Chains A and B, each alone.
Chain A
Amino acid sequence: AVQLVESGGGLVQPKESLKISCAASGFTFSNAAMYWVRQAPGKGLEWVARIRTKPNNYATYYADSVKGRFTISRDDSKSMVYLQMDNLKTEDTAMYYCTANIGDYWGQGVMVTVSS
Chain B
Amino acid sequence: DIVMTQGVLPNPVPSGESASITCRSSKSLVYKDGKTYLNWFLQRPGQSPQLLTYWMSTRASGVSDRFSGSGSGTYFTLKISRVRAEDAGVYYCQQVREYPWTFGGGTKLELK
Q: Which residues of A contact B (CB under 8 A)?
A: 35, 37, 44-47, 50, 61-64, 97, 102-104, 106-109
Interface range on chain B: under 10, 10 to 19, 20 to 34, or 35 or more? 20 to 34
- Cα A45 to Cα B61 in complex, Å, equals 22
Which 5 residue pairs spanning A and B have beta carbons closest together? A106-B48, A47-B101, A61-B99, A44-B106, A103-B51
Q: Which residues of B contact A (CB under 8 A)?
A: 1, 39, 41, 43, 48-51, 54, 60-61, 90, 92, 94, 96, 99-106
- Cα A108 to Cα B101 in complex, Å, equals 21
Q: How many A-B residue pairs have CB under 8 A?
A: 51
23 contacts between A and B (CB under 8 A): A35-B101, A44-B90, A44-B105, A44-B106, A45-B41, A45-B106, A46-B103, A47-B102, A61-B99, A61-B100, A61-B101, A64-B100, A97-B48, A102-B39, A102-B51, A102-B54, A103-B51, A104-B51, A104-B60, A104-B61, A106-B50, A108-B48, A109-B48
